[in-house]
Amino acid sequence: MSTELLSLIQLSDSALPIGTYAHSWGLETFVQRGAIKDRASATTAIRDLLLNSVGPTDAASCGLAYVAAQHNDSKLYFDLAEQLIASRWASELHEAALSTGKRLRKLALESGLLTDLSQMPPSDAYHCLVFGWLANKLGVERSDAVTAYLYSSANAMVSALVRLIPLGHTDGQRILNELKPEIAAMSVRFIIEKPESLHCFAPMTDLASVQHEQLYSRLFQS
């Protein structure tokens, strides 16, 4: 097994201590309102989030950050960060992406994931950008980085819904198995070449994230 593959597994591991376990991407609002209540509705919700939000914005940005790292292009990196900030009007989603990105960057430095400081991604940027930059510097293929980002996002959503619905762990794995072919197809679809191609249309998720701030009780930060 190559060290590049092992690095990708480490980078996308759900046990990576960067705080993703504390976020539900607005799914907690849908669960409290009864819109997500079982495996079928959970699968639909995760699929929609991947297809309409995470895929065309975060995963696509991950692939572009990979290119930025390839050319040590910090301007492209920060241009992507500005575009992502402008596209997120839900403060919780913005803070979640930023805090996990900072933690991933810090972890890469402190854990020895990258030992050459000149290869570290620029500071204070979103998780998807740090992920893409690190993947390049670790020798991972771009397509594999995007695929891993999509899968780890789906896995984090499943983990949240297992605790929220509650959903059995076996059902959680069934959801991931069902979504694998679609994630593979999305990883090809959302490898883009220009930042202008980034897009997102998930108004209900954005609204749920805003409303999440006012929920009576919450398990998650977003």
* Predicted TM-score of the model (pTM): 0.94
Q: What is the pLDDT of residue 222?
A: 67
Q: What is the pLDDT of residue 45?
A: 94
Using CA atoms, how far residue 39 sits from 47, 55, 100, 121, 190, in Å, is 12, 21, 27, 38, 26
Respond yes or no on whether the N-terminal peptide bond of residue 166 is cis (omega within 30° of 0). yes
Q: What is the pLDDT of residue 52?
A: 93
d(C-alpha 31, C-alpha 37), whole Å: 6
Q: What is the pLDDT of residue 204?
A: 80
19: helix, strand or coil = coil
Sign, Cα dihedral of 146, 147, 150, 153: negative
- pLDDT tens digit string along 115-169? 888 888 988 789 999 999 999 999 999 999 999 999 999 999 999 999 999 999 9
Contact partners, residue 203, CB within 8 Å, separation at least 6: none
**Range name among 5-19, 169-183, 200-214 with the lowest pLDDT average:** 200-214
Chain centre to alpha carbon of residue 51: 12
d(C-alpha 112, C-alpha 104), whole Å: 12
11 is written with which tokens? 């980078």
**Range name among 13-17, 105-109, 112-116, 205-209 with the lowest pLDDT average:** 205-209
Cβ(154)–Cβ(184) under 8 Å?
A: no
Using CA atoms, how far residue 61 sits from 53, 110, 164, 175, 207, in Å, is 11, 25, 29, 25, 22
Backbone angles phi, psi at 40, to 5 degrees: -65, -50
d(C-alpha 76, C-alpha 36), whole Å: 38
